[in-house]
């Protein structure tokens, strides 16, 4: 625990749980800005779009950081993108972002070089005064192939980038604070940083939308408010939520 607090630095207050349901749920109980709840093992991890997030004991870095983004409500949809950008920077140049904030890496287990998901992020807004963001981050660090929940996932170890979980924790928190500060200073300009890390821009995609609908097209932009702009046969759409699948040639 002392190592975790030391890695986080004085700007953050860290609470460690050996076992927890969901760190997002725990961090929301008595929310306080700059509090981070870490679980060595999460038993009921929550993912985006009401999915579960499953990680084996001791192999992943799972935590939730409570932050005051310090921006007007109109800019809140960008907060998940800021979090993804921060994690990608902490992992290094190899990491790119599938919209909105899945962090991807390529690696030995990626076969044809297709990039796989190494981190998922769930941001929830609390109606406190000021409103606070619970930024839940799950990074696959040491999982073996057999321990991954889906074939589109990988871990840093499998991608040939073994890291110490505690050091990575400190790096992510540093980049998160720095990225949130950059964002708050110029919300409209943040997307330029994000675009430079995007694996989705320019891709042909299928986007599975909430409510069992999906669209297919080419991604032409991520707009200043974080919306995904897709050219489809039926015109240009700007999406605020959905699950993106990068299509391979011919798909
Ligand atoms: C996704 O669906 O990609 C988002 C996954 C987010 C998982 C993290 S793990 C730490 C935090 N606590 C949760 O219950 N979920 C997030």
How many other CB atoms sit within 10 Å of the CB of residue 25? 18
Is pLDDT of 175 > 70? yes
pLDDT digit string, tens, across residues 10-55: 999 999 999 999 999 999 999 999 999 999 999 999 999 889 999 9
125/121 Cα distance (integer angstroms) = 13
pLDDT digit string, tens, across residues 81-131: 999 999 999 999 999 999 999 999 986 655 545 899 999 999 999 999 999
What's the gap in Å between 64 CA and the centre of ligand 1?
Answer: 8
Dihedral in degrees, nearest 10, Cα atoms 75, 81, 85, 88 = 170
Is pLDDT of 140 > 80? yes
Ligand 1 atom 11: the closest Cα is on which residue?
136
What pLDDT score was predicted for residue 228? 98
What's the gap in Å between 53 CA and the centre of ligand 1?
Answer: 6
Mean pLDDT of the region 131-145: 98
pLDDT > 90 in the chain, percent? 92
What pLDDT score was predicted for residue 251? 81
Angle, alpha carbons 142-148-154 (nearest 5°):
65
What's the gap in Å between 121 CA and the centre of ligand 1?
Answer: 5
Residues in contact with 196: Cβ distance below 8 Å, sequence separation at least 6, in sequence order: none
What pLDDT score was predicted for residue 115? 92
124/24 Cα distance (integer angstroms) = 8
Is pLDDT of 8 > 90? yes
What pLDDT score was predicted for residue 28? 98
C-alpha distance from residue 117 to each of 96, 156, 180, 206, 245 (Å): 10, 10, 23, 17, 11
What pLDDT score was predicted for residue 107? 67
Mean pLDDT of the region 158-185: 97
pLDDT digit string, tens, across residues 51-77: 999 999 999 999 999 999 999 999 999
Is pLDDT of 206 > 90? yes
167/59 Cα distance (integer angstroms) = 14
What pLDDT score was predicted for residue 113? 57
What pLDDT score was predicted for residue 108? 61
Which atom belonging to ligand 1 lies closest to the Cα atom of 119?
3
Lowest mean pLDDT among 152-156, 184-188, 204-208, 210-214: 210-214
Q: What is the pTM of this model?
A: 0.96
Complete domains list, the chain, with CATH: 2-197 (3.30.930.10), 204-246 (2.30.30.100)
What's the gap in Å between 249 CA and the centre of ligand 1?
Answer: 31
Ligand 1 atom 7: the closest Cα is on which residue?
138
Residues in contact with 250: Cβ distance below 8 Å, sequence separation at least 6, in sequence order: none
């Amino acid at each position: 625990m002392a190592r975790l607090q030391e890695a986080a630095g004085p700007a953050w207050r860290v609470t460690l749980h050996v076992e927890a349901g969901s760190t997002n749920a725990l961090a929301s109980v008595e929310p306080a800005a700059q509090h981070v709840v870490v679980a060595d093992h999460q038993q009921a991890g929550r993912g985006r779009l009401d999915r579960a997030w499953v990680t084996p004991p001791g192999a992943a870095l799972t935590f939730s950081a409570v932050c005051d983004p310090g921006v007007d409500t109109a800019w809140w949809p960008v907060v998940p993108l800021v979090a993804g950008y921060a994690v990608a920077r902490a992992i290094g140049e190899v990491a790119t972002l599938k919209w909105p904030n899945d962090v991807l890496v390529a690696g030995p287990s990626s076969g044809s070089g297709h990039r796989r998901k190494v981190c998922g992020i769930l941001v929830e807004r609390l109606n406190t005064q000021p409103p606070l963001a619970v930024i839940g981050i799950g990074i696959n660090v040491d999982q073996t192939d057999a321990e991954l929940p889906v074939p589109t996932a990988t871990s840093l170890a499998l991608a040939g980038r073994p890291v110490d979980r505690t050091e990575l924790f400190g790096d992510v928190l540093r980049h998160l604070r720095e990225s949130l500060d950059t964002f708050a200073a110029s919300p409209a300009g943040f997307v330029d940083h994000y675009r430079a890390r995007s694996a989705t821009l320019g891709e042909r995609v299928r986007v599975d939308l909430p409510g069992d609908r999906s669209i297919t097209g080419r991604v032409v932009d991520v707009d200043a408010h974080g919306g995904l702009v897709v050219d489809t046969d039926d015109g240009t759409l700007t999406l605020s939520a959905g699950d993106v699948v990068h299509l391979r040639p011919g798909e």
